[in-house]
Amino acid sequence: MNVEREEKIKTRREILQKLKEEMIKRLDLPYKPDDIHEDISLLGAGLGLDSLDAIEIVMIVESCFNVKIADGNTSPLRSLNTITDYIIAQKGL
């Protein structure tokens, strides 16, 4: 495996870990980071988060990663993977 690919994988893991830790802390979720699968739906049936939780997730992305999610743009909030993809794309990583 080449070094560039390994770096991208490492960066993705770090973003996912930080997202999980911040969500658990700020949303007072009863989970450990390893308990939350990256593809679980965040809103509704998956983790059961609501619109207020979605606002907090947007604030986490903005404060922790310095990436803005436009008002009304909920597509990045489908799962941790979609948020991570969005962060990576916005930061050009």
pLDDT tens for the chain, 93 residues long, are: 688 999 999 999 999 999 999 999 999 999 999 999 999 999 888 888 998 999 999 999 999 999 999 888 888 999 999 999 999 999 988
HEC assignment per residue over 3-49: HHHHHHHHHHHHHHHHHHHHHHHHCCCCCCHHHCCCCCCCECCCCCE
Structural domains in the chain, sorted by start? 3-91 (1.10.1200.10)
Q: What is the dihedral of CA 4, 9, 10, 12, to 10 degrees?
A: 120
2-20 per-position pLDDT tens digit = 889 999 999 999 999 999 9
pLDDT at 74: 82
Whole-structure pTM value:
0.90
What is residue 31's predicted lDDT score, i.e. its pLDDT? 93
In 3D space, the residue among 17, 30, 89 whose CA is nearest the CA of residue 60 turns out to be 17
